[in-house]
Amino acid sequence: MNTIPRRALIGGAAALTATPAVAQEWRPTRPLRIVVPAPPGGITDIAGRMLANHLQATWGQPVVVDNRAGGGGVTGTVEFLRAAPDGHTLLVGNIGPQATAYTLFRSLPYGPEALAPVSGLIRGPNILVVHPSIPATTVAEFVAWLRANPRAGNYGSSGIGQSPHLSAVWFHQLTGTQATHVPFRGSAPAMAALLAGDVNFMFENLIAASEQVLAGRLRGLAVTPAQRSALLPHIPALRETLPELAAYDVSTWVGLFAHGAAPQAALVAQNAEATRLLLQPEARATLQRRGSDPHVTSLAEFQDFVASEIVKWREVVRREGLQIEME
């Protein structure tokens, strides 16, 4: 189930040689549906609605956004896979159901080969924030504190297996530190616990934590992607801070997927339109206001990116011994 499909590694090669005319060979012949495996209002939903508006204006066919939340994104993915693989139903997926879920969940009802990665849409950073009571102003000082207090530290997250949780897990694996994980039912209660000092630190979506950092209620030590964020440019990337974190690179991402059996011409056309959308200045501005950036990719680039994410998180999850039963 966890084998990276050959298509995900080399299937995009044809797209690299395709001419612009090839992308125009496929057009929808009836209304489209975009399945979003998340509730309305979040970044995955925002990406789906931006794309729906663009495709409807470009192709002249109605485009419906269908929110199917539940099961960490698995419910919506399964619903998407029930549709005919003809390119008229798309999935705006994310790091959970399209990368970590393959290792995290027992008896997952689909594998990577069921989906065809089409295009990146959004990448956004997480940030390591600590309560002001923690005697650390840098990552090096924080790691030293964790090593000196191996059983004293605890951290919150929005739930087991979510991106903020796994960001912390990989951090601990690379630094050889330990802390007790305290999962909450969502980001808001986890943040409330951190502000109250009930937990010591957490990895959180940057836009959700930035207000508290700027107000001085929390201390931001580092962001998780390879580069710093324009939102808080004075805060380093984790990989800058210690040699053992040189490989650390984590983004919460959203991408466009088609059915694994969808026509190649449909994937090429859909990638071309996603790229057109993301290159628009207003799209970039909309995403950056939410602490994220457009993730512009070719077919091959996004297929390689998804394959690498599956491998990366497979190793992290297995090393931690994490597994969750499907509900």
- Residue length, the chain? 327
- Whether 229 and 206 have beta carbons less than 8 Å apart is answered as yes
What's the mean pLDDT in 84-102?
A: 96
What's the mean pLDDT in 99-110?
A: 94
pLDDT of res. 197: 95
Output the average pLDDT for the chain.
90
Phi/psi-derived region of residue 321, left when phi > 0, alpha when psi is between -120 and 50, beta in every other case: left
- Judged against a pLDDT cut of 80, whether residue 6 lies above it is answered with no
pLDDT of res. 9: 38
Q: Which residue has the higher pLDDT, 162 or 109?
A: 109
- Categorize the per-residue pLDDT at 158 as very low, low, confident or very high, splitting at 50, 70 and 90: confident
pLDDT tens digit string along 30-75?
999 999 998 888 889 999 999 999 999 999 999 999 999 888 899 9
Ordered structural domains, the chain, with CATH: 6-124+252-325 (3.40.190.150), 125-245 (3.40.190.10)
What's the mean pLDDT in 244-250?
A: 96
Buried-exposed string 292-319: b where 16+ CB fall within 10 A, e elsewhere: bbbbbbbbbbbbbbbbebbebbbebbee
Q: Which residue has the higher pLDDT, 108 or 20?
A: 108
CB atoms within 10 A of CB 261: 11
Classified as helix, coil or strand, 61 is: coil
Instruction: Give percent above pLDDT 90 in the chain.
Output: 76
Q: Which of 14-23, 143-152, 243-252 has the lowest mean pLDDT?
A: 14-23
pLDDT of res. 15: 42
Question: What is the pTM for the complete model shown?
Answer: 0.85
What's the mean pLDDT in 154-164?
A: 89
CA distance 256 to 293: 15
Which tokens is 267 given? 């994937």
Q: How crowded is the C-beta side of 255, counted as CA atoms within 13 Å?
A: 32
Residue carrying the six token digits 């509730």:
39
With 0-12 CB in 10 A as exposed, 13-18 as middle and 19+ as buried, what is 321?
exposed
Phi/psi-derived region of residue 159, left when phi > 0, alpha when psi is between -120 and 50, beta in every other case: left
Residue among 23, 50, 43 at smallest CA distance from 270: 23
Q: Which residue has the higher pLDDT, 39 or 172?
A: 172
Residue carrying the six token digits 């530290």:
153
Which tokens is 305 given? 């990116």
Quote the distance between the C-alpha of residue 156 and its chain's center.
19
pLDDT tens digit string along 14-28?
443 343 444 458 999
- Which helix (H) or strand (E) segment holds residue 194: the answer is helix 187-195
- Categorize the per-residue pLDDT at 160 as very low, low, confident or very high, splitting at 50, 70 and 90: confident
- Judged against a pLDDT cut of 80, whether residue 326 lies above it is answered with no
pLDDT tens digit string along 290-313?
878 999 999 999 999 999 999 999
